[in-house]
Structure 1
Amino acid sequence: MNSGYGNYGASHTKKSLLGWLYGGGSAKEDIQDNLSTLRQRSRDLYMGVPLATGAIKTCRTNVVGGGLKLKSQVDYEILGITEEEVRKLENKIEREFALWADSTACDIERLDNFYELQQLAFLNWLMSGDVIVTLPVTKRINMPYDLRIKLIEADRLSNPAGNTDPKIIGGVEVNEAGEVVAYHISTHHPLSFESIETKWARVEAYGEKTGRRNVLHIMNRERIGQRRGVPFLAPVIEALKQLGRYTDAELVAAVVSGMFTVFIEKENASNDSAFGEVIPQGLQVDSGEDNTFELAPGAIIDLGEGETANALNPGRPNSAFDGFVIAICRQIGAALEIPYELLVKNFNASYSASRGALLEAWKMFRMYRTWLANDFCQPIFEEWLAEAVAKGRISAPGFFADPIIRKAYCGAEWNGPAQGLLNPVQEVTAAEKRVQNGFSTRDREAMEMAGSDFYRNIQQLKQEEKLMKEVRDIGETENSK
């Protein structure tokens, strides 16, 4: 007898569930074995379906924007230094980091700076499910730092040819305890058409002597035991593809419906050219196809003896098109955690509804921003800071002696683009009250609302006030005369 879930979702007797084709396996069978198809289809959607492109770029722009900026947060209590000293140290760290991060020298390919690499890494994670980052060391002229960032596309992390070791899954090697110990990266992209012999390099996850992270694997797991990431669009690939096909069909039908064509039927055959012919052979899309005929706006086409033109009205534009597309977009947005209004950039609802949609979206954006900062920005910053201290450009006593002291120096916040204000007066007032009641700080509010730095703002205001005072003093002197 059925009981509990057996009466509902696990029932094998209900007619509504008898036709349900289901099946599942471990993370390897459900995810890893299907990743190649998921990646290629996700990239194809990005390149050809506007809604898919918009979803990915919306997420990229709001999470990363111009790049997550470093805000050094040294723990001065552990280090036993004053607030004034820690502020000077934080300024020094930020200036030195900007020297490296603002330059394309940080990129092994020397094409992007650190913030542009963030965009590229996050965009590739959205399309492919994961990104591989290595941290090689090379010397470059006029750059005191040797640390470099190398991004590797997900396809290159794969099992070596002929691999039979069950501990290597999707190019990720684990030990008996399940700990990731190495990555197998191919020298040649598996989808490239170049005829180059493919070899694999085994890169240890951590340095044997130093414990340094050799590889950063940027991914977001959804299953226990999962070793590779899933593309962002994976749950909605079918819906997006079908919606793209439907949109294309409606567009073609609307174009055909908009072409007014006249056919002239004659009693006798004629060898003359069609009367009023307006589509020259060279301008026809399928000019080489004998069985293809094209329409054109306002065309007048001659018919031979015995031929009759039958009118066909596609009935487009379809009045139900917009409502149907909106319904599907709402489902896609729910799956991707991007509200419909933001997904299609259409804010026709009330202020409260629009604000609610943005707040829900920003919960997701902040989550991904924190994840990207923890998995990409912070580890790279810590590697850079270790080099800066080792080279004596930043003074950090005890940095290599005690892990807790090293962590104190490595404290940082990574701030991205501000959310934006729907009602500036109301939201600024709320920010003031948060600061007054100790719920937030001026520094955090400046970053959240305008993407600016509070301390730099204060310095700039100080200079502006000084200039304004000089102008007022000059004005008062002239008036007194």
Structure 2
Amino acid sequence: MRSLLHRLFARPGTRAFDAAGGGRRWEGVRTVDGLNTAILAGATTAARRAGWYARNNPWVAAAVDSLVGNVVGAGIKPQSTHPDRAVRERLQVLWLRWTDHADPGGLADFYGLQAIAVRAMIEGGESFARLRVVTGASAVPLYIDLLDRDQVPMDLHRDSGGGARIRAGIEFNGAGQRTAYWVSRDRPGDPLASLRLEPLRIPATDCLHLFKPLAAGQLRGITWLAPVLLRLHELDQFEDAALVKAKVAALFTGFITDPDGTAGGLTGANNGGALTVGMEPGSLIPLPPGTDIRF
């Protein structure tokens, strides 16, 4: 009995997860100790790099366009389920009227705003939108104002008292609920930006935060290109080097060896000391005795 209990409860010395093992095979392997820590430290840099490649690399641009097309397509369109047909038709008329004027800048309709927001989420990891109610003679009373991810400061952290606090530009109450977003008035890098640096507090009920959560308690988003960005950068450099190599390999210079000085009869135009001779496949060019050409 003692030997049986010893075998059951003794700590196994040879059992282990390979993924948690040590040794030389695991030297230099990186780990993610905290997702929020990693996002706060590097999400902005990764987003800016991803944005550059999405605008300059044709393969990334095509991939982002494909993702946006598959997620949004022609637009995610709600449909009323009201039992009264007349009410449904009236709601549809009002909805179509609003969708054409949802963008305060007039660059897109509601469905175009969806595509822009999803594109920003793929490239930068997240997108923000502010719901603005406008009273007066405007065509519609509600607008959707898309925000740049940098307008919500990633480095804004503050204790508000009573258990409330601001983390990465997002305000939480004591229960951990999102109560407000702190938004800068202008987009970073805007040459015509105002000098008002203090961000505005906007209630969470008036803001939309679009990102793909990867873990519980995640504060901000990370670009969807993060897993491939480094390899993409190296492949881009490799492709550029291969193109330069092909261009260099296609440059030919001919050197004529003429020990007797009798090569002056070669046909061709002499331009600044360079003899230009047309070369075609299958050409046979006779050379004077003792003359040689090397490329």
Per the shorter chain, which TM-score range? 0.7 to 0.9
> What is the distance in 2 between the residues matched to 1:69 and 1:176?
36
One-letter code aligned to 1:218: L
Runs of 4 or more above 6 Å deviation: 265-268
* Residue 111 of structure 1: how far off its partner (Å): 2.0
- Map 1:236-255; keep pairs closer than 5 Å: 236-255=228-247
Tell me if 1:33 matches 2:28. Answer: no
Query: What is the number of equivalent residue pairs in this alignment?
Result: 253
Letter in 2 for 1:135: L
Deviation at 1:29, TM superposition (A): 0.9
> Greater relative contact order (Cα 8 A, min sep 6): structure 1 or 2?
1
Q: What is the aligned counterpart of 2:220 among 206, 228, 239?
A: 228
Superposition map of 1:10-409 within 5 A: 10-12=20-22, 14-17=23-26, 19-74=27-82, 76=83, 86-101=84-99, 103=100, 105-139=101-135, 143=139, 145-158=140-153, 163-165=157-159, 167-192=165-190, 196-197=194-195, 198-205=197-204, 213-263=205-255, 273-275=272-274
Going from structure 1 to structure 2, the CA distance change for 1:29 and 1:141 (only over 3 Å counts) comes to same
Q: Distance in 1 between matches of 2:106 and 2:238?
A: 42
Q: CA shift at 1:193, angstroms? A: 5.6
Residues 325-345 of structure 1 show CA distances to partners (whole Å, capped at 9, x for unaligned) of xxxxxxxxxxxxxxxxxxxxx
Q: Which has the higher strand share?
A: 2
- The TM-score normalised by the length of structure 1 is 0.48
Equivalent pairs: percent with the same residue? 25
For residue 8 of structure 1, the aligned residue among 1, 14, 18 is 18
Query: Residue 133 of structure 1: SS of its match in structure 2?
Result: strand
Q: TM-score, normalised by structure 2?
A: 0.75
Deviation, 1:133, is: 0.8
CA distance in 2, matches of 1:59, 1:95: 30
8 Å CA contact 1:42, 1:127 repeated in 2? yes
> Any unmatched runs of 5+ in structure 2?
1-11, 262-270, 277-292
- Structure 1 pair 199–188 and aligned structure 2 pair: CA distance change class (3 A): farther
Contact 1:49 1:241 in 2 (8 A): no
d(CA) in 2 for partners of 1:99, 1:258: 60
Query: Contact 2:183–2:202 (CA<8 Å) still a contact in 1?
Result: yes
Amino acid at match of 1:22: R
Q: In structure 1, the residue corresponding to 2:47 is in which secondary structure?
A: helix
- The letter of the residue matching 2:57 is V
More helix by proportion, 1 or 2? Answer: 1
Cα gap change, 1:261 to 1:110, in 2 (>3 Å): same
Alpha-carbon distance change, 28 to 265 in structure 1, aligned in 2, over 3 angstroms: farther
RMSD of equivalent CA atoms = 2.8
Larger Rg over CA atoms: 2
Amino acid aligned to 1:45: Y
1:24-58 CA distances to partner (integer Å, 9 max, x unpaired)? 33232122221111111111111222221121111
